[in-house]
Structure 1
Amino acid sequence: MDFGRLITAMVTPFDNQLQIDWTQVGNIMDHLIEEQASDSLVISGTTGESPTLTEEEKLKLFEYAVTHSKGRAKIIAGTGSNDTAHSIHLSKEAEKRGVDALLLVAPYYNRPSQEGLYQHFKAIAESVRIPVMIYNVPGRTGVNIDAATTVRLSHIPNIVATKDCAGTDQLTEIVRDAAPGFLVYSGDDSAALPAMSVGAHGIVSVASHVVGNEMKQMINAFLQGNFAEAARLHGQLLPVFKGLFTFPSPAPVKAALNYKGLPVGGVRLPLIQATEEEGRYIASLFQ
């Protein structure tokens, strides 16, 4: 499966009581697909505040997203956790609800060995029929999925992609050695262009909530061989890429969306929403 070049890890909109605002879920999906050039959407990933969503909320989000997208974008369900058995259960339930693929984060906190990581992802992938994208984000999980382990996983038939935040050296090794057709995505907005320069297919993005069109222009310029224009756009977008991670995500991108008139509410504890000063800083990125 080709998920496209620009995938957005979508926020979960909340109302004033921090319950899911279902009207705004649809509105944000439409915004991302129709106005920000997203090819696929990750539902209930870290940016969607998966740690504080209940299983019932996640399953309702998957079902709603599939129905609302009407095939306009691929729907990728975030079903990974640090409990293999529960990840299998949630993945099976997501598959029943018609999602196109799964995003499986590396098990966090319990820090398994490389063999443990391999067996974890293998067990989940073999429990479903739909495609799987693994997600390596050592800064959050405390464990790196080594390039060799990702390459090994790439030979499991329905493990078709990785979202990797470990840097261009590791991405280069994966691109070089992975099974034919295996897709590599950067998980870091500011690394999108450097990653593509070493063979990555695209980006799983947070900034694409608000600068998706510009990011797609940068990607297309690179693909067309206009490297100077791609570099210019990357430089222009860099303050936004960095600014949206100056305090714990997804509070900054939610502040940006609220500022732009797309109400998505606040964030659930233990995250806290932007202060007035932080909100002014986020607004300054778009002035």
Structure 2
Amino acid sequence: MKGLYTALMCSFDEKGNVNEKGLREIVRYNIDVQQVDGLYVNGSTGENFLISKEQKKQIFDVVKNEAGDDVKLIAQVGALNLDEAVELAQYATNLGYNAISAVTPFYYKFDFDEIKDYYNTILDSVDNDLIIYSIPALTGVNMNLEQFGELFENEKVIGVKFTAPDFFLLERIRHAYPDKLIYSGFDEMLLSASVLNVDGAIGSTFNVNGRRAKQIFELAQNGQIGEARELQKVTNDLIAAILDNGLYPTIKEILKVQGVDAGYCRKPMKALDAAGVKQAKQIAERHL
């Protein structure tokens, strides 16, 4: 399960329905062109928190059908509704996903015992492994080393998607739990995380920059830090330009430049105006 995983985008039509043809094209582009090791499905980048349970199932279906066994697949099933998270975990497991993942429960200020019960309830329902999705900036859930350790006591919890800039905590987790998988979640910090010996990364910009990200990771693993730093600089120039223009709609426009039917973002995300579309095309020309 080690390696680089794309936080997979989903193609939607103008009414917000899943564009199956476009989704299949995104899957194939990531596998065949970006050559990533796996796909992280129905995460934040897939606009997961804007879609219905049935749409989530549809996406799990289409991705598995298109990808087959070409790459590893991780299904993000986390939801505020625990019954839904359990149902999605069972659904993705039955489809043959290699692992499930779940964002920490958010919005309400859950205490750690509630968070732990959330994960254990999901895992009690399936015969599958789970990767914690920790993204404190969006969930407000900050867990310490001891709390990660408590979650890791469940042998089905095999690792964490660590989307946080706290590299002191990252190093402590790496040192304390060498057998658990740690995936870096911030694309712009891939090199820094790789130096701390993470097992891989999961990123949204890998949809268009996967090959370069994989080079950074492999160079760092081989101790070629200077070369990796140069590629991280090039990558961060790309990321800065994308963020300035609008993260998800810009990535979708760049995919369209590459001939991929990436569709639209779901509302309330706004579409790029004409100037934004032009800028996205220029970003693709300058940085890819």
Q: Normalising TM by the smaller chain, what interval?
A: over 0.9
- In the alignment, is the contact (CA less than 8 A) between 1:132 and 1:160 conserved in 2? yes
Provide the rounded CA distance (Å) in 1 between the counterparts of 2:29 and 2:4. 14
- 1:174 corresponds in structure 2 to 173
Following superposition, the deviation at residue 205 of structure 1 comes to: 0.7
Provide the rounded CA distance (Å) in 2 between the counterparts of 1:174 and 1:67. 35
Q: Aligned residues: percent identity? A: 23
Provide the rounded CA distance (Å) in 2 between the counterparts of 1:132 and 1:192. 22
- In the alignment, is the contact (CA less than 8 A) between 1:47 and 1:250 conserved in 2? yes
- 2:256 corresponds in structure 1 to 258
Given the alignment, which residue of 34, 37, 41 partners 1:39? Answer: 37
Given the alignment, which residue of 5, 21, 24 partners 2:22? Answer: 24
Following superposition, the deviation at residue 249 of structure 1 comes to: 4.0
Following superposition, the deviation at residue 17 of structure 1 comes to: 3.2
More off after superposition, 83-92 vs 204-213 = 83-92
- In the alignment, is the contact (CA less than 8 A) between 1:63 and 1:98 conserved in 2? no
- 1:79 corresponds in structure 2 to 77
Which 5+ residue runs of structure 2 have no aligned equivalent? none
**Aligned residue type for 2:187:** D
Given the alignment, which residue of 214, 226, 230 partners 1:228? Answer: 226
- 1:276 corresponds in structure 2 to 274
Provide the rounded CA distance (Å) in 2 between the counterparts of 1:249 and 1:241. 9
Change (3 A) 1:163 1:94: same
What aligned pairs does 1:103-252 form with structure 2 within 5 A after superposition? 103-167=101-165, 168-178=167-177, 180-246=178-244, 249-252=247-250
- In the alignment, is the contact (CA less than 8 A) between 1:15 and 1:265 conserved in 2? yes
Provide the rounded CA distance (Å) in 2 between the counterparts of 1:122 and 1:244. 37
- In the alignment, is the contact (CA less than 8 A) between 2:25 and 2:261 conserved in 1? no
Provide the rounded CA distance (Å) in 2 between the counterparts of 1:148 and 1:246. 37
Which 5+ residue runs of structure 1 have no aligned equivalent? none
Provide the rounded CA distance (Å) in 1 between the counterparts of 2:65 and 2:21. 13
- In the alignment, is the contact (CA less than 8 A) between 2:131 and 2:159 conserved in 1? yes
Deviations 1:32-91 (A, max 9, x none): 011102111111111111112221121122122222212011111111012323211221
Deviations 1:10-47 (A, max 9, x none): 11112343321111211111110111021111111111
Change (3 A) 1:224 1:121: same
Following superposition, the deviation at residue 146 of structure 1 comes to: 2.7
Change (3 A) 1:173 1:246: farther
- In the alignment, is the contact (CA less than 8 A) between 1:82 and 1:110 conserved in 2? no
- In the alignment, is the contact (CA less than 8 A) between 1:246 and 1:252 conserved in 2? no
Change (3 A) 1:146 1:249: farther
Q: Helix, strand or coil: the match of 2:149?
A: helix
Tell me the TM-score normalised to structure 1 length.
Answer: 0.93
The one of the two structures with greater contact order (alpha-carbon pairs below 8 A, sep at least 6) is 2
- 1:60 corresponds in structure 2 to 58
Provide the rounded CA distance (Å) in 2 between the counterparts of 1:82 and 1:249. 24
Following superposition, the deviation at residue 212 of structure 1 comes to: 1.0
- 1:12 corresponds in structure 2 to 10
Higher helix proportion: 2
**Aligned residue type for 2:91:** E
Provide the rounded CA distance (Å) in 2 between the counterparts of 1:134 and 1:115. 15
Provide the rounded CA distance (Å) in 2 between the counterparts of 1:157 and 1:149. 15
Aligned length: 284
Tell me the TM-score normalised to structure 2 length.
Answer: 0.92
Q: Helix, strand or coil: the match of 2:60?
A: helix
Following superposition, the deviation at residue 248 of structure 1 comes to: 5.4
Following superposition, the deviation at residue 166 of structure 1 comes to: 1.9
